[in-house]
Amino acid sequence: MSGGWAMRMLCEAGLKTLVLERGKMVEHPGGYPTEHKQPWEMPWRGGRVHPETLTDYPVQRRTYVFSEYTRHFLVRDAEAPYHQSRPFDWIQPDVVGGKSVLWARQTYRWSPMDFTANRDDGHGADWPIRYEDIAPWYDLVERTIGVSGSAEGIPHLPDGVFQKPMEMNAAEKVARDRIETSFPGRRVIIGRCAVLTEQLGDRAPCHYCGPCERGCSTGSYYSTLTSALPAARKTGNLTLESRRLVHSVLYADGRATGVRAINMETGDAEEYRARVVFMCASAPGTVRILLNSRSPEFPDGLANSSGVLGRYILHHHARVGASGRMEELLDRYYRGNRPNGLYIPRFRNLGAATSHPGFVRGYGMQGGASRAGWGRGRQMSGFGASFKESLRTPGEWRIGFQAFGEVLPSRQNRVSLHPEDTDPWGMPVLSFDVGRSGNAQAMRRDMAESAAEMLEAAGAVDISTYDNGHIPPGNENHEMGGARMGRSPETSVLNAWNQCHDVPNLFVTDGACMASSACQNPSLTYMALTARAATHAVKLMKDGTI
């Protein structure tokens, strides 16, 4: 995600740019072999029961995007092992473009309060930037990737540069009106999504086929493959080497001088020299490389004079909410498989009137309504022509909300290099020691209760709540932190421009840089920070500072 933006910005600025990617190459638009296949066209009907799933993907198969359709995009776990002091699901793509190929494309700005939360309540270190610093870069990213959404004037969820919004279906509109009437101050909006509703360059509007995680040959959804990589290639400044596992950053005389990488096809070690280095290997991946970049000056990892490298790992806690059914609107339906849903912005702890006594920070909710399709036949009795005919008629409306909550920065949530174990290429593996706090547990209770009360207000029946708290952190795919930004070199790894305090020509712009998690999906913020940092790096290079 962030790597694509660093690549694009540096290439378009005229710099000769080398990108090293551990994943295999996937060429757009022809590299999506399962994109429009139906279950009956797949050997195992598209499910998760393929024999290789159990043996080769014990961790990766736990993510919601994993199936027979997508497993070729994800790493085989034996090739990317790690240790867990406390359970953690590290979901790792194995393709050029990384998670941008698989992400859910929910695209929300952080608000001014998100950049001051650490300062205001004392949890974590203060961000060295404010919303005003990143707002122009949000504009640039949204305009470039294409974000469908509606302007709502919500202070804690700033509006952006939007294409026309996707439409709510009939049940969602009814639910929205009833919830907003019953709970003044709560809003129900259509999701803000990096999927086109209007032509953007050579990328076509979405045709609502649905399973975006299989790839998008029309380029309607944003990924590195559909947008950033073609743009970088057009400059003539790009060299891309896939199947390269970056082992460490080379360092001499106060500067990063390049990187050491392992050719995953041959096993050979290779060294590449550079004037500036951007780390965009995912939060755990980047931290792993920096911890492994040891020298006499930095025996505990490069740029780690603060001692916080690998600490303050963040994520979102989710898999909690409620669902029900609606007995009305049986004469209403909708078009296609909309790749988007509803969003309920945070409504707790926005001020004194919305303060909750049990926890600080807050959560948002995502969800939607749909009618059951022919797949409901798996839970029904019957057979023969009459049974099949009954499934041609849409089933009842189902509606649900899942919450995504902010976690507090904690020094105890950390990753470190395992002292003995290595991966198949001889690189030390990570050990995760990450858990949930009492604040998160209290928040989860309110998440489920709030989801249920809003569904009841919406007119749903047979409402049930759930809390899959047994699913480990990481499974939400939003891992952050480990090389946080901050105001002081004594308590942070990076400055306000994503530069390492200790190594000024080394930049970290993926999720590792985050000083807090907010509750919104983080990818838009990663991309905006990367565009900002890359532009700053180019300026410093031109004036000879780095």
Q: What percent of the chain has pLDDT over 90?
A: 94
Strand ranges, E, within 49-145: 83-84
According to the model, what pLDDT value does residue 87 have?
97
Average pLDDT value for residue range 369-386 = 88
Single-letter amino acid, residue 496: A
433: which strand partners?
414
User: Strand 17-21 relative to strand 238-242: parallel, antiparallel, unpaired?
Assistant: parallel
pLDDT for position 110: 99
Q: What's the pTM value of the predicted model, to 2 decimals?
A: 0.97
pLDDT at 49 over 80: no
Q: Locate 345 and state its tokens.
A: 């912005």
Mean model confidence pLDDT for the chain: 97
Neighbours of 393 (CB within 10 A): 9
Cis peptide before 93 (omega within 30 of 0): no
Residue-level pLDDT at 522:
98
247-270 pLDDT per residue, tens? 999 999 999 999 999 999 999 999
**Top mean-pLDDT range of 44-53, 338-347, 377-386:** 338-347
Q: Measure the CA–CA gap between 69 and 42, rounded to whole angstroms.
A: 8
Residue 234 in tokens: 């057009």
CB contact set of 58 (below 8 Å; sequence gap of 6+)? 77
Instruction: Give the 3-state secondary structure of 19-58.
Output: EEECCECCCCCCCCCCCCCCHHHCCCCCCCCCHHHHHHCC
For the packed helices 131-145 and 112-121, what is the interaxial angle rounded to 10 degrees?
Answer: 140
Cα-Cα-Cα-Cα dihedral of 66, 70, 73, 77, to 10°?
40
pLDDT at 538: 99
Tell me how many degrees the CA angle 70-76-82 measures, rounded to the nearest 5.
125
526-537 mean pLDDT: 99
Q: Give yes or no for residue 50 having a pLDDT over 80.
A: no
The DSSP H or E segment spanning 397 is strand 397-406
* pLDDT (0 to 100) of residue 201: 97
List the one residue out of 276, 280, 277, 234 whose CA is nearest residue 12.
Answer: 234
Q: What per-residue confidence (pLDDT) applies to 412?
A: 98
Give tens-digit pLDDT for 164-207: 999 999 999 999 999 999 999 999 999 999 999 999 999 999 99
Band (377; pLDDT cuts 50, 70, 90): confident
433 has a pLDDT exceeding 90: yes
Please count the residues of the chain: 546
Residue 406: what residue type?
Answer: E
Both tokens assigned to 337? 């498989």
Evaluated on CA atoms 46, 49, 55, 58, the torsion sign reads positive
- The counts of H helices and E strands in the chain are 10, 16
**What is the token pair recorded at 276?**
């500036």
50 CB neighbour count, 10 Å cutoff: 19
pLDDT in tens, 92-139: 999 999 999 999 999 999 999 999 999 999 999 999 999 999 999 999
What would the two tokens of residue 30 be? 């022809």
* Residue range 21-36, pLDDT digits in tens: 999 999 999 999 999 9
3 state SS of 345: coil
Residue 3: pLDDT above 90?
A: yes
Q: Using CA atoms, how far apart are residues 330 and 289, in angstroms rounded to an integer?
A: 55
Reported as type and span, the H/E element at residue 211 is: none
The yes-or-no verdict on residue 53 having pLDDT over 90 is no
Q: What digits encode the pLDDT tens for the residues 201-240?
A: 999 999 999 999 999 999 999 999 999 999 999 999 999 9
In this predicted structure, what is the pLDDT of residue 360? 98
List the structure tokens of 128: 């060295």
Distance of CA 198 to the CA centre of its chain: 24
Give the pLDDT of residue 119.
98
Going along 122-180, which residue ranges are E strands?
none
Q: Which of 353, 434, 433, 371 is nearest to 186 (CA)?
A: 353
Task: Quote the CA–CA distance of 415 and 18 in Å, as a whole number.
Answer: 28
Contact status, residue 347 vs residue 354, Cβ threshold 8 Å: yes
Judged against a pLDDT cut of 90, whether residue 452 lies above it is answered with yes
Beta strands (DSSP E) in 127-268 are 189-190, 238-242, 244-252, 255-263
**pLDDT at position 177:** 99
Which phi and psi (to 5°) does residue 86 adopt?
Answer: -125, 150
Over residues 422-441, the mean pLDDT reads 97
Q: What are phi and psi of 439, to 5 degrees?
A: -60, -45
Per-residue confidence band for 389, with pLDDT thresholds at 50, 70 and 90: confident
Q: For residues 316 and 406, what is the distance between their CA atoms, to the nearest angstrom?
A: 6
Q: What's the rounded Cα separation, in Å, for the pair 229 and 96? A: 10
Look at residue 296 and give its three-state secondary structure. Answer: coil
